[in-house]
Structure 1
Amino acid sequence: MFRLIACGLFLSLFRHSAAWAARPFMTDDARLTTAGSCQLESWSRRYSDRSEIWALPACNPTGNLEITAGGAAFQGINKTQSTDAVLQIKTLFKSMTADGWGAGVAIGNVRHRPNAPAGGEQGQIYLYVPVSVSFDGGRWVTHTNVGWARDHVSGQDQWTWGMGLEVQLNERWMWIGEIYGNNRQNQFGQTGLRYQVVPDSFQIDFTYGAPRGFGATQNWMSFGLRWTPEKFR
């Protein structure tokens, strides 16, 4: 299930969502990976002055408890480097069905560590409620997040939010779009496509995003994959 050195700029982007969602969303969905199985989401995010590489494995051992543990590596054009470590758990109050809705709750912690003598550890603890609604037999799905985050260094609290939309174009292609932010900083938006290489198992995606709407500075492009195998035997 809210991402993102320019270490400070990455963290400010992450504070907008404070959620870990079905790739490539920052706005999380009210769904879990396959019960009794695990999934892997990995992606590269490119800015004009830096790059990120992410890997977020997640497992659902009980059927209604998804545990995500992973991280990222960042590198700027001046060779500055930093890393992130993420731990999150998510459960559902109600599972979503076709033409129905689902809701849950997630809590997580992210630690950001600049690889420099003068760099101190940064990060956040966060909590959010994802709500997803399905229309037209699941062809259209909306996602809404409302949450809270606390900065480890400053101790400041903030409210976070996100709204996303998935549209199934055909059996393999899906369009996605979202906006997200918080009560302290600007909003962000991104849009892109998912492609099911192996339906319900392996997908790839591409997105383009920017702060304050598209055409602003600090735009990004991302390329990613998501592998969701069947239940382990």
Structure 2
Amino acid sequence: MKRTIITAMMATVVAAGTAHAGGSLFVDDSGVTPAGRCQLESWLRAFSGGGRELTLSPACSAGPLEFSLGLTRISRPGQSLLTPGLKWQLRDNSNGGFGLAVATTGIYQHGKLKQTDVYVAPAWALGADQQWQIFTNLGLSRDRGEKSKLAGGLGMQYSLSKAVDLVAERYIRKGRDATNEAGISFNFGSSASIDLLVGKNRTDQWFTFGYNVVF
């Protein structure tokens, strides 16, 4: 039973995991990879119940459209998931103010579609130097053979300096436990970052190490 709970939570993590500069976050922002460039978002999660999750998610952009293809390996039970995604940035807030994007992802296992998510992602950059970033998601999540359910979250990021950000978020999908995560992100210029995060829900806790690079 515990393995089933962990696996279901991991699937939710994968579906929600294309986030800001650090793809290891659950709540997405409105940004996309710089036009004509690509990035690799990757993270390793270690769960208190003994499970491990390794995700590699390359993404490339053409104008305001970002295409991604995530590959996740779950250790307990052993299985692999493929997660294609498409994100369309409607309003860029990289210079401050309001941003907006819409996105959709799917989770495939053994060649069959297991879960589909679609959501809007409003975001706000606040403060004289945009120290505060607030990003929200609202949409629908559907498991194969079931009805669509409301899903969404709220995330916040505060920049201590150009090199260090503090992040916190809460993600909820109807019918499942709320997920909370917080930690610190270290930025190496504008092309790479490392995330160190801790998270929990009602049934488990985990530690996340994320590495993200733009090329």
The 8 Å contact of residues 127 and 147 in structure 1, kept in 2 or not, is answered as yes
> How far, CA to CA, are the matches of 1:100 and 1:172 in structure 2?
21
The 8 Å contact of residues 47 and 207 in structure 2, kept in 1 or not, is answered as yes
Partner of 1:138: 130
The 8 Å contact of residues 65 and 89 in structure 1, kept in 2 or not, is answered as yes
> How far, CA to CA, are the matches of 1:83 and 1:17 in structure 2?
11
> How far, CA to CA, are the matches of 1:38 and 1:124 in structure 2?
25
Q: By how many angstroms is 1:15 displaced?
A: 3.6
Q: By how many angstroms is 1:134 displaced?
A: 0.6
The 8 Å contact of residues 11 and 123 in structure 1, kept in 2 or not, is answered as no
2:96 corresponds to which of 65, 86, 99:
99
Counterpart of 1:10 in 2: which secondary structure? helix
> How far, CA to CA, are the matches of 1:99 and 1:11 in structure 2?
36
- The one-letter code sitting in structure 2 at the alignment partner of 1:31 is G
The 8 Å contact of residues 106 and 113 in structure 2, kept in 1 or not, is answered as no
The 8 Å contact of residues 15 and 106 in structure 2, kept in 1 or not, is answered as no
**TM-score, L = length of structure 1:** 0.83
2:184 corresponds to which of 183, 190, 193:
193
> How far, CA to CA, are the matches of 1:18 and 1:72 in structure 2?
11
Counterpart of 2:7 in 1: which secondary structure? helix
- The one-letter code sitting in structure 2 at the alignment partner of 1:99 is G
> How far, CA to CA, are the matches of 1:123 and 1:132 in structure 2?
28
User: Is the deviation greater in 87-96 or in 20-29?
Assistant: 20-29
Partner of 2:28: 28
2:108 corresponds to which of 101, 111, 135:
111
Higher strand share: 2
The Cα offsets for residues 122-170 of structure 1, whole Å up to 9 and x where unpaired, read as 7211100001101013110000000101111x32210101100010001
Q: If you compute each CA radius of gyration, which structure gives the higher value, 1 or 2?
A: 1
Query: Where in structure 2 are there 5+ consecutive unaligned residues?
Result: none
Partner of 1:207: 197
Q: By how many angstroms is 1:186 displaced?
A: 1.8
1:41 is aligned to 2:27: no
> How far, CA to CA, are the matches of 2:109 and 2:6 in structure 1?
12
User: Is the deviation greater in 12-21 or in 176-185?
Assistant: 12-21
The 8 Å contact of residues 140 and 148 in structure 2, kept in 1 or not, is answered as yes
**TM-score, L = length of structure 2:** 0.90
- The one-letter code sitting in structure 2 at the alignment partner of 1:210 is K
Partner of 1:149: 141
Counterpart of 1:32 in 2: which secondary structure? coil
Q: By how many angstroms is 1:88 displaced?
A: 0.4
> How far, CA to CA, are the matches of 2:167 and 2:74 in structure 1?
25
**Identical pairs, percent:** 26
> How far, CA to CA, are the matches of 1:44 and 1:166 in structure 2?
21
Q: By how many angstroms is 1:17 displaced?
A: 8.3
The Cα offsets for residues 45-87 of structure 1, whole Å up to 9 and x where unpaired, read as 0012110111000000x211100012111113xxx31111000
Partner of 2:118: 127
Query: Where in structure 1 are there 5+ consecutive unaligned residues?
Result: 114-119
The Cα offsets for residues 177-222 of structure 1, whole Å up to 9 and x where unpaired, read as 00001121221100010001x210111110000004xxxx410001
Partner of 2:175: 184
Counterpart of 1:6 in 2: which secondary structure? helix
Partner of 1:51: 52
Counterpart of 1:27 in 2: which secondary structure? coil
